[in-house]
Amino acid sequence: MPAVRPEGIRIALDGPAASGKGTVARAVARALGYRYLDTGAMYRAVALQAERRGVAWSDAPGLAALAEQLPLDFRWDGATLAVLLDGQDVTEQVRSQRVGQGASAVAVHPPVRAALVRRQQALAARGGVVVDGRDIGTVVLPDAELKVYLDASPGERARRRHAELVARDPRGAPPLAQVLAEVNARDAQDSGRATGPLSVAADAVVVDTTALDIPQAIQAVLALARARGA
């Protein structure tokens, strides 16, 4: 018999970089009164902490030790998620392109993944949660009540990420062609790794957002969630 989740269903939301997962996950969690767990922020926090402690992104044992002890906290107020590292708000810092590349690099190491996966499973155990990442439906919560794979074409994802970078820093944003090259490189790294690669779980519902705007993508996932008892 499936375990009863006192706080609601567990929604696994996977997909490639810049597919809109974070925005959709936050909005769905907010609409349902659920918690939001951003697992990408955990890999990003490991990369940032490594940089601060002088541990190379290639040093698997050093990174695993950091990941085991990571003084990481999330503050979810029902609408926004703050990431705290060592008690310091690093929400903005972990979103940078550089830390994103570091996250993708540290995420290839199996002992780093093992440490973070354990933590993610503990955080999701009570249910009532939207968990976004790459391997949530396949590895972290293989028995999640709902698995969604959010996709969009690489060109559309690059366009969205570029618009976001321009909004943040109109003069410092890299050209679209460079953002597209980074999206493709990140896809290759995230899909090509041996442990917990980005892949579609057999029982996931694929939602292609290439031609959807954000409210439509949110409604699509909310409808699936309600159909599964959320």
Q: Which residue in the set 17, 63, 83, 152 belongs to the binding site for ligand DC (CB under 6 A)?
A: 17
Q: How far is the CB of 4 from ligand DC (least distance, A)?
A: 26
Site string for ligand DC, 211-230 (x = CB under 6 A): --------------------
CB–CB of 130/11 below 8 Å?
yes
Q: Which of 9, 20, 39, 156 binds ligand DC (CB under 6 A)?
A: 39
- What does the block give as tokens for 51? 């940089």
Phi–psi pair at 69, nearest 5 degrees: -105, 10
Using CB under 6 A as the binding rule, whether residue 104 contacts ligand DC is answered as: yes
CA dihedral 106, 119, 161, 16 (to 10 degrees): 80
**Shortest Cβ 168–ligand DC spacing (Å):** 15
99 with 48: CB under 8 angstroms?
yes
Is the distance from CB of 216 to CB of 208 less than 8 angstroms?
A: no
Task: Measure the CA–CA gap between 180 and 61, rounded to whole angstroms.
Answer: 32
Q: What is the closest distance, in whole angstroms, from the C-beta atom of residue 59 to ligand DC in the complex?
A: 17
In the DSSP assignment, the letter for residue 3 is P
State which amino acid sits at residue 55.
V
Confirm or reject binding of residue 107 to ligand DC (CB under 6 A).
yes
Which 42-81 residues touch ligand DC, going by CB under 6 A?
43-44
Residues within the interface to ligand DC (CB under 6 A): 17, 39-40, 43-44, 100, 103-104, 107, 133-135, 186, 190
